[in-house]
Amino acid sequence: MKHLLARRAAVAVFALATVAGLALSTAASAADRFITVASTTSTENSGLFKFLLPIFTKETGIEVRVIAQGTGQALKTGAKGDADVLFVHARAAEEKFIKDGFGVKRTPVMFNDFVIVGPEKDPAGVAGGKNVTDALKAIAAKGAAFASRGDDSGTHKAELKLWKAAGVDPKKGGSWYRETGSGMGATLNTANQMGAYALTDRATWIAFKNKKGMRIEVEGDKRLFNQYGVILVNPAKHPHVKKADGQAFIDWLTGGAGQKAISDFKLNGQQLFFPNAGDAGA
Amino acid sequence: MADGAFASALSMILTLDAEFVGIVGLSLRVTLAAVLIAAVIGMPLGALLAMYRFPGRGILIVVVNALMGLPPVVAGLIVYLTLSRSGPLGALGMLFTPTAMIVAQTILVLPIVIALTRQVVDELWSEYRDHLTSLGQTGIAAVPTLLFDARYPLGIALLAGFGRASAEVGAVMIVGGNIAHHTRMMTTAIALETSKGDLALALGLGIVLLCLTFSINVVVYGASRVGRQMAG
Amino acid sequence: MRDTATILPLTAESLAFEADGKRLIDRVDLTVGRAERIAFIGPNGAGKTLTLRMLHGLLAPTAGTVRWSRDDGTVAGRKRHAMVFQKPVMLRRTARANVVHALAAAGHGRGEAADRAEAVLRRFGLDRLAARPARLLSGGEQQRLAIARAAALEPELLFLDEPSSALDPGATRQVEEMLGELHAAGVALVFATHDLGQARRIADRIVMFHKGRVVESGRTANVLDRPETAEAKAFVSGELLW
């Protein structure tokens, strides 16, 4: 009889604890004041948000929930109304997003640059180059392995633009061009493993921890400029969008405090992103 | 890298790093809730499926068995499309919350619970049927008796469900969004750290996850051993 | 004494059961009165088990009727007949819990069920087994537990399907003692048996089955010592019937 009672008590306590835990977790999320931001893997993986968001939340009391997706996916998420703000880096796609009525306005926030990384062995002989299209042509000519994100992200779109500028269609080349369909980090892991070249944004590269055997081969070309923009999802299309809090975030990011925080963010002593909200042409 | 991995695992556990604790806590909450809900829904359904004959029963059993292998990403995708603001249940605003993750994982665990319950109750019912019918316990009234007597195999079924849910990353990644401090679980954290190239940390998290699963299995095994001695 | 609230006599008329186009039970008539002890005998496949199941309500006859004197064999919502099967069905619980389960299924409250279970186990000397897992008991202990469990329901009639065919003589004697005690307390017994000696020891009347029909029935001594039909003569003298 005693065992029965003890067992039943244990089960009851366990069940109650679970239900309570579940209730608490969902109740807590309902009471919080928060916005949902769809952003890129580069901003997330570099650690920028981990640094930036607590400053914003402390100032405004608004929690920012970031979903790190590729730019293409982030734009679709915004179009479906599943995010309040987009923070991405593909200007042409962003402007189309606004034109199609899914976003209110695009504001530049910050920039960094892309670099071409590759194996220390450098089979295509492009190390130290300052011309990205020449480097890409050399890689294609040599048939050296190249890992592409292939996921419709901002980086992927930028990469395709560069191939076009170089006059090369990598998909027709052969098996040296490998599309991983994944985020930046996963693609870099794959590039490392395959001894391949890849296009990456500098911030992700600096933060990336699996660099053994790889290095930056090409940098500094003006065409490797990478601009980030922020957009409020159009409340006219999706009435539930948190207009006020979303705009507050955008205003903070592009205002004095946010811009300073962005330039304050350093990894290994290096600044990863450069604020340029005031740059109208960006 | 192995020593780096064990070192990270140990340091996370010993320092009880706040973020780490949050991630472990969320993983347990989501997966245990999913298993509990799947048990409450799935066990009676599995029992009834075992006891009653009706047209289409055979096909239903095959479908349920097949769903045990439903790819987690597919389950995640279906829930995502349903809960998206542009989807049928968008007004609930449940996307990117732990609740959505619980829903997705419950869908993954439910077929396991139903299929294994059906299997066990089927055997038990054919053994007990005359006696229970004689006592006047027919149909639904017999379900509690059958489920209680099947408690050990059912416990294993729940463990199997727990294993499946705690190991998957596809569903919770899609419907949860792996949001820091909010929907980041052990498996999605491992995926993230891997994509950041921090393989030692990822492996460390993996070790912690394995230890957690192992501990739960030890507890359940111990409890069933004690229980069996008491009830045959 | 609630004489009016009894389910006996039980009357079966022209009972028949057909399956796959075969008549497995054909025109069986039977009456069971208060505290009567009736043995079903006959070769395997003769229809003893099928008839028991139909009388108890586990199987619906394809023709004929089973009539209790009251409401389908129940009084105040409680079934007043019970059955013990050839292989005792033991739930995966302790002996005591098995009895409690039967009482709870019959509608008794938890506390009352616990008390009654305790009482019936003590009555039949099974209380030292109460906390043991029922499935770990010996064959004889399980069968006695099954009978005690049925007795706890306070039936007016107990059906038993070959209660001791799998037991050794010692266990068989214990089972027969239990049945004797139940009979002394006023419970009617209808049981199938292979053991003609058992029929002689504990039956008032014998009904002999062969190929789904009743070929002979009457007082025990008459059927066993002065069988009238050819089949009965052959069976009682130990010949094989097919």
Q: What is the pLDDT of residues C134-193, one digit of tens each?
A: 999 999 999 999 999 999 999 999 999 999 999 999 999 999 999 999 999 999 999 999
Question: Nearest CA to B112 among B167, B149, B172?
Answer: B167
- Residue of C101, C103, C129, C135 to mutate when probing chain B, most B C-beta within 10 A: C101
User: Which residues of chain B are within 8 Å of residue A188 when distances are taken between CB atoms?
Assistant: 197
Residues of C with CB under 8 A from a CB of B: 56, 58, 79, 82-83, 85, 89, 91-94, 97, 101-102, 105-106, 132-136, 153
**How would residue A151 be classed by pLDDT, with cut points 50, 70 and 90?**
confident
User: Which residues of chain C are within 8 Å of residue B125 when distances are taken between CB atoms?
Assistant: none
- Residue of C72, C75, C91, C96 to mutate when probing chain B, most B C-beta within 10 A: C91
- Whole-Å CA distances, B196 to A45, A90, A148: 6, 22, 17
E strands of chain A, at which residues? Answer: 34-39, 63-68, 85-88, 103-119, 146-148, 177-179, 197-201, 214-218, 225-233, 266-267, 270-271, 274-275
**How would residue A279 be classed by pLDDT, with cut points 50, 70 and 90?**
confident
**How would residue B20 be classed by pLDDT, with cut points 50, 70 and 90?**
confident
Question: Nearest CA to C241 among C28, C22, C44, C26?
Answer: C44
- Cβ neighbours of A254 (radius 10 Å): 20
- Whole-Å CA distances, A101 to A108, A281, B157: 18, 21, 50
Phi–psi pair at B203, nearest 5 degrees: -65, -40
Residue A24 pLDDT more than 60? no
Cα of B9 vs its chain's centroid, Å: 24
CB contact (8 A) between residue C92 and residue B232: yes
β pairing state of C157-161 and C188-192? parallel
User: Which residue in the set B99, B180, B197 is minimally distant from A210, CB to CB?
Assistant: B197
pLDDT at C188: 96
**How would residue A14 be classed by pLDDT, with cut points 50, 70 and 90?**
low
* 29-48 in chain B: CB under 8 A from chain A: 29, 32-33, 36
Q: For chain B, where are the alpha helices, taking DSSP H only? A: 2-15, 18-51, 57-67, 72-83, 98-134, 143-149, 151-167, 170-176, 186-195, 199-231
For C4, the token pair is 């009016």
Nearest CA in chain B to C82: B134
Q: Mean pLDDT throughout B109-128?
A: 96
CB contact (8 A) between residue C83 and residue B132: no
CB contact (8 A) between residue B86 and residue A209: no
Closest CA–CA distance from residue B210 to any residue of chain A (Å): 21
What was the ipTM of the complex prediction? 0.92
- Cβ neighbours of A263 (radius 10 Å): 13
Cα separation, A249 vs A259, in Å, equals 12
Cα separation, B196 vs C63, in Å, equals 78
List, for residues A87-116, the tens digit of each pLDDT value.
999 999 999 999 999 999 999 999 999 999
For A25, the token pair is 């977790």
**How would residue C48 be classed by pLDDT, with cut points 50, 70 and 90?**
very high
Cβ atoms of C209 and C199 within 8 Å: the answer is no
Cβ atoms of A65 and A42 within 8 Å: the answer is no
β pairing state of C63-67 and C10-19? antiparallel
pLDDT at B3: 72
Determine what percent of chain A is predicted with pLDDT higher than 70. Answer: 89
Question: Nearest CA to B9 among B189, B217, B221?
Answer: B189
- Chains B, C: CB contacts within 8 A come to 47
Cβ atoms of B136 and C105 within 8 Å: the answer is yes
Nearest CA in chain C to B230: C133
**Average pLDDT taken over every residue of chain C:** 92
pLDDT at A31: 55
User: Which residue in the set A22, A82, A183 is minimally distant from B195, CB to CB?
Assistant: A183
User: Which residues of chain B are within 8 Å of residue C56 when distances are taken between CB atoms?
Assistant: 134
Phi–psi pair at C37, nearest 5 degrees: -120, 115
CB contact (8 A) between residue C133 and residue B136: no
